[in-house]
Amino acid sequence: MNKFETVDMQQIADMTGVSRSTVSRALSGSPLVSFKTRDLIINAAKQTGYVMNTAARNFRLGRTGVIAVVLTLEHDSPQTINDPFFMEIIAEIAEYLRQRNYNTLIAHERLDDASSFLQSQTVSASDGVIFIGQGKKHEALNELANSGFPIAVWGDATLDCDYTVVGCDNRQGGYLAAKHLIEQCHRKHLAFLGDTHFPEPQARFKGYLDALQEAGLAETNSPLHINISFDPSTAQKALEEFFTRETEVDGIVCCSDLIAIAAISAAQRAGKSVPNDVSVIGFDNISLSQLISPQLTTVAQPIAAGAKSMCESIFAQLSGERPRDDISQAQLIIRDSA
């Protein structure tokens, strides 16, 4: 029992000589209340320091007041969220939802198949779910969407999605990055770092290949597959091996800023200077990308706008609407690393 919510609607009702119903109506802005009583009630509420019990309200309204966020990518990794990109997008989501008087639930729910997901606590404790990344769960997500439960997904839209997809044009992002390396940085031996088993990296890889093709460098590419939500030391080791093996690589497109930061670090450890010996481009444009040295050249993702879009999509679905996707252009931000 929260002993700090001393006053409830009944007390306001008693004070003002009206019924609970009227207090309820007045406080939730119903037009069915006369100005006079409404002001009376609102004043009384202020004076007593009344704060509505939102749990009771949501309960009565048959909703939870919660939107869950699920990180699809953490499939077999025991790790929690350690990619700043996740954190930034979650922060944006939380901030937007807070403005709409919703809570954000950071869920740790695996998505295997739609029906078992629908029976999860995450679903029963929320009014909708935002997935960050499609993982390899495209089918399950489609099924889930068709069940009618509101979801929105941060991901790539090249698949045939029944669910709301929000993100950027990943193919274009990969293309712009590789093209920049080739044309502006005059690089010839490019590499791609990311796990192309997932839709977004895959699309970026495709764009990367397109740029290579266009430049007649299609055979020189050397992709290294790394899991995005990786363990720092594992990634370091893989990257060190990479640099000792691929000695002539002079340009790298990374699938996240975190990977780019690790790649720069590994390159420097291997005695290479960035961007002199090797140019590195990230993806996401997390706020940290400006803080490190060299400042990261990167493909910006519309984090804040995307977070808002996904939330709005959920709300639209809760109102029975059927909203569109929101795929923005990729934008190359040129700084110092490439």
Partner DNA sequence: TTGAAAGCGCTAACAG
Partner DNA sequence: CTGTTAGCGCTTTCAA
Residues at the site binding a copy of itself, with contacts judged by CB under 8 A: 1-5, 49, 51-56, 58-59, 62-64, 66, 80-82, 84, 87-88, 91-92, 94-95, 98, 103-108, 118-121, 123-125, 127, 147-149, 232-233, 235-236, 258, 261-262, 264-266, 268-269, 287-288, 290-293, 295
If one asks whether residue 244 binds DNA (CB under 7 A), the answer comes out as no
Kindly tell me which of 232 and 248 has the beta carbon lying closer to a copy of itself: 232
Q: Residue 34: which of a copy of itself, DNA, none does it interact with, CB under 5 to 8 A by kind?
A: DNA
Q: Which is nearer to a copy of itself, 75 or 136 (CB)?
A: 75
60 binds DNA (CB under 7 A): yes
**Please, which residue, 2 or 293, has the CB nearer to DNA?**
2
Residue 125 or 316 having the CB closest to a copy of itself: 125
Strands (E), the chain: 66-71, 103-107, 128-132, 151-154, 164-168, 190-193, 222-224, 251-254, 279-284, 297-300, 326-328, 331-333
Tallying the residues shown for the chain, one arrives at 338
Class of residue 333 by CB neighbours under 10 A (exposed 0-12, middle 13-18, buried 19+) = middle
| Nearest approach, Cβ of residue 124 and a copy of itself (Å) | 4
- Report how far residue 76's alpha carbon sits from residue 28's, in angstroms, rounded to the nearest whole number: 45
Our CA dihedral for 280, 284, 286, 288, rounded to 10 degrees, sits at: -10
Comparing CA positions, the residue from 27, 32, 33, 31 lying closest to residue 8 is: 27
Judged by CB under 7 A, which of 42, 52, 106, 316 binds DNA? 52
As a whole number of angstroms, the distance between CA 15 and CA 44 comes to 7
Query: Residue 165 binds which entry of a copy of itself, DNA, none, with Cβ cut-offs from 5 to 8 Å by kind?
Result: none
Please report, as a single letter, which amino acid is at residue 149.
F
Q: Determine, following the binding rule CB under 7 A, whether residue 8 of this chain makes contact with DNA.
A: yes
Question: Closer to a copy of itself at the Cβ: 276 or 293?
Answer: 293
Query: In this structure, is the dihedral angle defined by the CA atoms of residues 205, 211, 214 and 218, taken in order, positive or negative?
Result: negative
CB 26 to a copy of itself: min, Å? 18
315 alpha carbon, distance to own chain's centre? 17
Q: Quote the CA–CA distance of 181 and 251 in Å, as a whole number.
A: 6
Q: In the bound complex, what is the minimum distance in angstroms from residue 37's beta carbon to DNA?
A: 4
Record the tokens describing residue 129, joined without a space: 């779910």
Q: Work out whether 42 is an interface residue with DNA (CB under 7 A).
A: no
Q: Quick one: residue 167, left, alpha or beta (phi over 0 = left, psi -120 to 50 = alpha)?
A: left
Please name every residue paired with 66 in a beta bridge, in sequence order, or none if there are none. 103
Q: Which of residues 315-334 bind DNA (CB under 7 A)?
A: none
146 binds DNA (CB under 7 A): no
Q: Interacting stretch for DNA, rule CB under 7 A, among 34-42, 94-102, 158-166, 274-282?
A: 34-42
CB of 166 to a copy of itself, least distance (A): 19
- Under the rule (CB under 7 A), what is the footprint of DNA? 5, 8-10, 17-22, 24-25, 27-28, 31-34, 36-38, 52-53, 56-57, 59-62
